[in-house]
């Protein structure tokens, strides 16, 4: 801080006063004023005429000089003080004289200045300069540029001459600082943010009143140690906060910003964001961190809500497909890193959800899904994920399992839990689920592949009898791939009109005459030859292609029958049975479309019998009842196909307007084998007759079966005993012939 003085600075230092008696002395280099008494004085530079006036002259100079001149004793006591001290520091000289000059020094300058002064006092002739702050009489700190010279060995002075000047540049800076502090204080008042200022040298933190208020405290309740802050930060967030601050201090970042939870006085945590910046001293060393803190609890809550909604199913509150896939991806990544780690995906689909939803209404359907969601969650461990990914489709991620048997056990547990009925609106509702399982061990790359395979396995479980589970194996994949190929081929077949209709005779058991035919579709495949419905009807239904195929069959069968009727006008009008799939039956304009086909082909409605299965009726009883009534109104007959294979009670089905009951061939084949089938068939025929329906037996293969059916008063029969389904040409040949 101390430097060698410049000649100009020295000029001030050479002025000397002793009480009121002013004496001039000289520096060795630049004589300015001559001391008339000093023997050592060089030649006077003022003319001799001013000698007598020199005391007054010097007094005048001193009182007008902007510099403050003082002479101190070796212990710092002020021996002389020039009048200008009044202007600069606000004191009268006599308020200064006799006092210890260091008394009014700024505490921060005290040590350095007293040390410097001691060094100055120890060496006669030594000159030192310093900058220090001196207390003004008005209480403010006045920055002074000082220069001192040890004149203790000068018998006239016998003291240390100090010349001080107000440091204008410092004043300017202080003014600016004060302004900026005022601005800062105003900003602090105005902002909603809390402010903190961490002095790294003292490790004290200034927390603004607003900062404390944000945590529920008043100003005096929080001290100024960093712990007041850090000890309140949530244990999950503290490590990141400290690491970020440390990283910033080590200059890895140009500013610091972080979010954390902090404990409020009310015991709850609040989310805060803090932004800070390091302040460096002139030496480049960081000595302060200052920053702000804003409460972002509400913002966080809204953001969390939005994220939650985007990742969860609104009805059941379970994770949705997006979140499920994300968790699955994590498991896949983990499985790649740890070879022994395994997980499984379960795909679950309710077996009769549509029936329940339509039968009991959507409110109850929703309630069932909610209850099912909690049931599923109760069947797995907390680390597993249960998700709802579609209407009644749920997926379960079993995270970290021993082997496939763990996954099977979970599936069994779910199926056992589902044997207990759900209480919905005062009713006990039974349901079951089909579950497919895919295991991670098969080297999957993408989450969707696992879901797809679990879905395939579920589908297999459903088609092999429902209420069961199935583990995916690669043959299913081949099956799924074949199904895809089939769909492609089917589309092409529709375009190229590769379908044919074969006809199977239906004979009267009373007269053995052909009363009509059942139209059965075949696919004339260019490579595979004749393909039977069992190999493609399901795929056609899944893809919706059954609609164009079905309409074509209906049209063709009606056209053919009308042609036969025209060719044999004398015979009893032949009937034609056409199978309808549930997709067709669900078309609201079905009656109108059928009517149009009849009009186009010229077939009378009374000659057409539409075959539907009981699932078609059960799936949507109200709509089915209405549809059946409309068809009847046109004069078309309806036949319930494959009767006995479903689960429905006969009395329930008989409530619907149905003309013919077709007993499934599984019952017919049992007749005569000594099983109870014969009595079941007998009961069915009796009940159907009671309800005004007639009965057709399917799949009659033996004479014994035929005799039994005749004995039971069954009206019609159809089966290989009479004929297999044949081409229209061959079928025509059967009309009017007796059975062989
Ligand atoms: P379905 O309506 O029950 O038709 C009777 C099936 O039993 C026919 O098989 C027929 O060939 C077979 N069958 C007849 N008599 C006997 C017998 O004595 N013994 C045995 N073992 N089988 C016999 P197909 O033609 O393979 O048809 C299978 C199913 O495909 C049909 O069952 C029907 O549900 C469906 N289907 C056939 N054509 C159509 C169609 O045009 N539209 C729709 N939606 N479904 C069709
Ligand atoms: Mg049929
Ligand atoms: Mg049938």
The residue-averaged pLDDT of 358-366 equals 88
Q: Which residue has 């208020």 as its token pair?
A: 213
List C-alpha distances in Å: 514 to 570, 574, 576. Answer: 14, 8, 11
- The answer to whether the CB of 504 is under 6 A from ligand 1 is yes
- The answer to whether the CB of 576 is under 6 A from ligand 1 is no
For β-strands 141-151 and 68-72, DSSP reports them as unpaired
Q: What is the pLDDT of residue 53?
A: 58
The residue-averaged pLDDT of 135-156 equals 91
Nearest to 726 by CA among 570, 511, 514, 569: 514
Between the CA of 641 and the centroid of ligand 2 the distance, in Å, is 6
pLDDT greater at residue 514 or residue 285? 514
The contacts of residue 448 (CB under 8 Å, 6+ apart) are 325
Lowest mean pLDDT among 354-368, 551-565, 642-656: 642-656
Over the stretch 390-421, which tens digit does the pLDDT of each residue have? Answer: 999 999 999 999 888 899 999 999 999 999 99
pLDDT band at residue 161 using 50, 70 and 90 as cut-offs? very high
- The answer to whether the CB of 556 is under 6 A from ligand 1 is no
The residue-averaged pLDDT of 495-505 equals 96
- The answer to whether the CB of 76 is under 6 A from ligand 1 is no
Over the stretch 468-480, which tens digit does the pLDDT of each residue have? Answer: 899 988 776 777 7
The residue-averaged pLDDT of 429-452 equals 90
The contacts of residue 224 (CB under 8 Å, 6+ apart) are 204, 205, 206, 207
Residue nearest ligand 1's atom 19 by CA: 699
The answer to whether 692 and 673 are in contact (CB under 8 A) is: no
Percent pLDDT > 70 in the chain is: 89
- The answer to whether the CB of 431 is under 6 A from ligand 1 is no
The contacts of residue 688 (CB under 8 Å, 6+ apart) are 654, 661, 694, 695
The residue-averaged pLDDT of 537-556 equals 93
Percent pLDDT > 90 in the chain is: 58
Q: What is the pLDDT of residue 2?
A: 32
| Distance of alpha carbon 576 from alpha carbon 554, whole angstroms | 10
The residue-averaged pLDDT of 315-338 equals 94
Taking the model in full, what pTM does it have? 0.49
Q: What is the pLDDT of residue 40?
A: 40
- The answer to whether the CB of 644 is under 6 A from ligand 1 is no
- The answer to whether the CB of 550 is under 6 A from ligand 1 is yes
Q: What is the pLDDT of residue 585?
A: 92
Q: What is the pLDDT of residue 50?
A: 43
pLDDT band at residue 634 using 50, 70 and 90 as cut-offs? very high
Between the CA of 522 and the centroid of ligand 1 the distance, in Å, is 10
| Distance of alpha carbon 472 from alpha carbon 450, whole angstroms | 10
pLDDT greater at residue 23 or residue 664? 664
- The answer to whether the CB of 725 is under 6 A from ligand 1 is yes
| Distance of alpha carbon 490 from alpha carbon 690, whole angstroms | 43
Mutational test site, ligand 1, from 490, 500, 530, 533, max ligand atoms within 8 Å of CB: 533
Q: What is the pLDDT of residue 684?
A: 87
Between the CA of 637 and the centroid of ligand 1 the distance, in Å, is 19
Q: What is the pLDDT of residue 447?
A: 95
Q: What is the pLDDT of residue 36?
A: 36
The residue-averaged pLDDT of 277-299 equals 84
Beta bridge partners, 240, equal none
Between the CA of 683 and the centroid of ligand 1 the distance, in Å, is 24
In this model, does residue 307 exceed pLDDT 60?
A: yes
The answer to whether 566 and 560 are in contact (CB under 8 A) is: no
In this model, does residue 41 exceed pLDDT 60?
A: no
Between the CA of 355 and the centroid of ligand 3 the distance, in Å, is 23
pLDDT greater at residue 425 or residue 675? 425
- Tokens matching residue 37: 């008494």
Query: What are the backbone dihedrals phi and psi of residue 564, each rounded to the nearest 5 degrees, phi first?
Result: -60, -45
| Distance of alpha carbon 88 from alpha carbon 10, whole angstroms | 20
| Distance of alpha carbon 195 from alpha carbon 193, whole angstroms | 6
- The answer to whether the CB of 549 is under 6 A from ligand 1 is no
The residue-averaged pLDDT of 477-503 equals 87
- The answer to whether the CB of 666 is under 6 A from ligand 1 is no
- The answer to whether the CB of 642 is under 6 A from ligand 1 is yes
Residue nearest ligand 1's atom 11 by CA: 725
pLDDT band at residue 733 using 50, 70 and 90 as cut-offs? very high
pLDDT band at residue 653 using 50, 70 and 90 as cut-offs? confident
Q: What is the pLDDT of residue 249?
A: 78
Between the CA of 585 and the centroid of ligand 1 the distance, in Å, is 18
Between the CA of 430 and the centroid of ligand 2 the distance, in Å, is 30
Which ligand approaches the C-alpha of residue 521 most closely? 1
Which ligand approaches the C-alpha of residue 644 most closely? 3
Query: What are the backbone dihedrals phi and psi of residue 545, each rounded to the nearest 5 degrees, phi first?
Result: -70, -15
Between the CA of 473 and the centroid of ligand 3 the distance, in Å, is 32
Q: What is the pLDDT of residue 542?
A: 82
- The answer to whether the CB of 319 is under 6 A from ligand 1 is no
Residue ranges with strand state E in 106-255: 127-135, 141-151, 159-166, 194-199, 204-207
Which ligand approaches the C-alpha of residue 662 most closely? 3
CB-CB neighbours of 379 under 10 Å? 21
pLDDT band at residue 682 using 50, 70 and 90 as cut-offs? confident
Half-sphere exposure of 206 (CA within 13 A, CB side): 9
Q: What is the pLDDT of residue 429?
A: 87
Between the CA of 520 and the centroid of ligand 1 the distance, in Å, is 6
- The answer to whether the CB of 553 is under 6 A from ligand 1 is yes
Q: For the chain, report the end-to-end CA distance as a whole number of angstroms.
A: 132
| Distance of alpha carbon 450 from alpha carbon 456, whole angstroms | 10
Between the CA of 701 and the centroid of ligand 3 the distance, in Å, is 14
Q: What is the pLDDT of residue 156?
A: 86
Spatial strand order in the sheet of 393-399: 385-388, 393-399, 343-350, 433-439, 469-471
Q: Which atom of ligand 1 is nearest to the CA of 541?
A: 44
pLDDT band at residue 600 using 50, 70 and 90 as cut-offs? very high
107 sits in the region (left: phi over 0; alpha: psi -120 to 50; else beta) called: alpha
pLDDT greater at residue 114 or residue 59? 114
Over the stretch 192-225, which tens digit does the pLDDT of each residue have? Answer: 889 899 998 899 999 999 999 999 999 999 999 9
- The answer to whether the CB of 577 is under 6 A from ligand 1 is no
Over the stretch 17-34, which tens digit does the pLDDT of each residue have? Answer: 333 333 333 333 323 333
Mean predicted lDDT score pLDDT of the chain: 86
The residue-averaged pLDDT of 655-672 equals 88
| Distance of alpha carbon 143 from alpha carbon 171, whole angstroms | 7
| Distance of alpha carbon 147 from alpha carbon 165, whole angstroms | 9
Over the stretch 563-592, which tens digit does the pLDDT of each residue have? Answer: 999 998 887 899 999 999 999 998 999 999
Rounded to the nearest angstrom, the gap between the alpha carbon of residue 681 and the centroid of all alpha carbons in its chain is 59
Q: What is the pLDDT of residue 55?
A: 76
Q: What is the pLDDT of residue 32?
A: 33
Lowest mean pLDDT among 6-10, 365-369, 549-553: 6-10
In this model, does residue 462 exceed pLDDT 60?
A: yes
Between the CA of 703 and the centroid of ligand 1 the distance, in Å, is 21
Between the CA of 137 and the centroid of ligand 3 the distance, in Å, is 116
Mutational test site, ligand 1, from 579, 580, 581, max ligand atoms within 8 Å of CB: 579
- The answer to whether the CB of 581 is under 6 A from ligand 1 is yes
Q: Which atom of ligand 1 is nearest to the CA of 642?
A: 3
Q: Which residue has 């019998």 as its token pair?
A: 609
- The answer to whether the CB of 537 is under 6 A from ligand 1 is yes
Question: DSSP assignment of 655-682, as one string?
Answer: TS--SEEEE-HHHHHHTTTTSTHHHHHH
Nearest to 462 by CA among 514, 398, 538, 369: 538
List C-alpha distances in Å: 643 to 60, 148, 667. Answer: 134, 123, 9
- The answer to whether the CB of 548 is under 6 A from ligand 1 is no
Nearest to 373 by CA among 416, 314, 438: 314
Residue nearest ligand 1's atom 27 by CA: 533
| Distance of alpha carbon 411 from alpha carbon 580, whole angstroms | 35
- The answer to whether the CB of 641 is under 6 A from ligand 1 is yes
């Amino acid at each position: 801080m101390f430097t060698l003085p410049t000649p100009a600075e020295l000029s001030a230092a050479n002025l000397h006063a002793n009480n009121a008696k002013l004496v001039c002395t000289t520096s060795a280099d630049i004589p300015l004023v001559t001391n008339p008494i000093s023997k050592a004085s060089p030649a006077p530079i003022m003319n001799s005429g001013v000698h007598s006036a020199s005391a007054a002259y010097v007094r005048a100079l001193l009182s007008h000089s902007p510099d403050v001149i003082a002479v101190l004793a070796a212990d710092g006591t002020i021996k002389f003080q020039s009048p200008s001290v009044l202007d600069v520091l606000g004191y009268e000289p006599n308020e200064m004289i006799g006092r210890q000059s260091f008394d009014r020094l700024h505490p921060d300058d005290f040590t350095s200045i007293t040390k410097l002064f001691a060094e100055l006092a120890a060496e006669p002739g030594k000159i030192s300069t310093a900058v220090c702050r001196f207390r003004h009489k008005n209480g403010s700190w006045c920055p002074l540029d000082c220069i001192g010279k040890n004149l203790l060995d000068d018998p006239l002075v016998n003291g240390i001459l100090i010349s001080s000047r107000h440091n204008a540049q410092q004043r300017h800076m202080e003014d600016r600082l004060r302004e900026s502090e005022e601005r800062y204080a105003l900003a602090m008042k105005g902002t909603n943010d809390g402010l903190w200022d961490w002095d790294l040298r003292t490790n004290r933190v200034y927390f603004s009143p607003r900062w404390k208020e944000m945590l529920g405290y008043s100003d005096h309740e929080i001290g100024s140690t960093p712990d007041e802050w850090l000890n309140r930060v949530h244990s999950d967030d503290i490590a990141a906060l400290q690491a970020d601050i440390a990283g910033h201090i080590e200059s890895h970042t140009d500013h610091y910003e972080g979010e954390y939870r902090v404990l409020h006085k009310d015991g709850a945590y609040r989310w805060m964001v803090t932004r800070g910046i390091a302040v460096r001293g002139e030496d480049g060393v960081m000595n302060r961190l200052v920053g702000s803190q804003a409460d972002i609890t509400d913002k966080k809550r809204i953001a969390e809500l939005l994220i939650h909604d985007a990742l969860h199913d609104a009805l059941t509150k379970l994770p949705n497909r997006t979140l499920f896939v994300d968790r699955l991806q994590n498991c896949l990544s983990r499985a790649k890193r740890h070879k022994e780690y395994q997980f499984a995906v379960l795909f679950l689909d309710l077996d009769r959800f549509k029936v329940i939803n339509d039968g009991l209404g959507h409110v109850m359907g929703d309630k069932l899904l909610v209850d099912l969601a909690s049931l599923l969650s109760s069947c797995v461990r907390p680390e597993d994920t249960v998700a709802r990914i579609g209407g009644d489709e749920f997926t379960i991620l079993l995270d970290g399992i021993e082997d496939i048997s763990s996954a099977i056990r979970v599936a069994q547990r779910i199926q056992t839990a589902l044997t207990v009925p759900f209480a919905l609106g005062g009713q006990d509702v039974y349901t079951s689920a089909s579950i497919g399982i895919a295991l991670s061990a098969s080297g999957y790359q993408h989450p969707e592949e696992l879901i797809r395979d679990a879905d395939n396995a579920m589908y297999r479980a459903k088609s092999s009898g429902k209420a069961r589970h199935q583990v995916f194996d690669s043959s299913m994949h081949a099956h799924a791939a074949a199904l895809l190929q089939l769909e492609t081929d089917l589309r092409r077949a529709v375009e190229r009109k590769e379908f044919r209709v074969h006809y199977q005779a239906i004979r009267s058991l009373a007269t053995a005459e052909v009363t009509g035919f059942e139209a059965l579709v075949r696919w004339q495949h260019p490579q595979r030859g004749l393909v039977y419905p069992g190999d493609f009807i399901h795929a056609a239904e899944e893809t919706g292609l059954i609609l164009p195929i079905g309409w074509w069959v209906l049209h063709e069968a009606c056209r053919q029958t009308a042609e036969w009727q025209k060719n044999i006008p004398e015979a009893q009008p032949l009937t034609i049975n056409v199978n309808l799939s549930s997709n067709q039956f669900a078309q609201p304009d079905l009656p109108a479309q059928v009517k149009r086909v009849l009009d186009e082909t010229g077939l009378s409605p009374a000659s057409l019998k539409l075959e539907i299965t009981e699932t078609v009726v059960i799936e949507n009883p109200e709509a089915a009842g209405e549809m059946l009534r409309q068809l009847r109104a046109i004069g078309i007959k309806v036949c319930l196909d494959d009767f006995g294979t479903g689960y429905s009670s006969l009395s329930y089905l008989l409530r619907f307007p149905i003309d013919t009951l077709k007993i499934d061939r599984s019952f017919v084949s049992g007749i005569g084998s000594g099983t109870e089938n014969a009595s079941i068939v007998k009961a069915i025929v009796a009940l159907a007759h009671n309800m005004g329906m007639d009965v057709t037996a399917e799949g009659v293969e033996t004479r014994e079966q035929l005799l039994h059916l005749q004995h039971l008063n069954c009206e019609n029969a159809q089966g290989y005993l009479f004929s297999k389904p044949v081409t229209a040409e061959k079928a025509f040949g059967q009309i009017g012939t007796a059975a062989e």
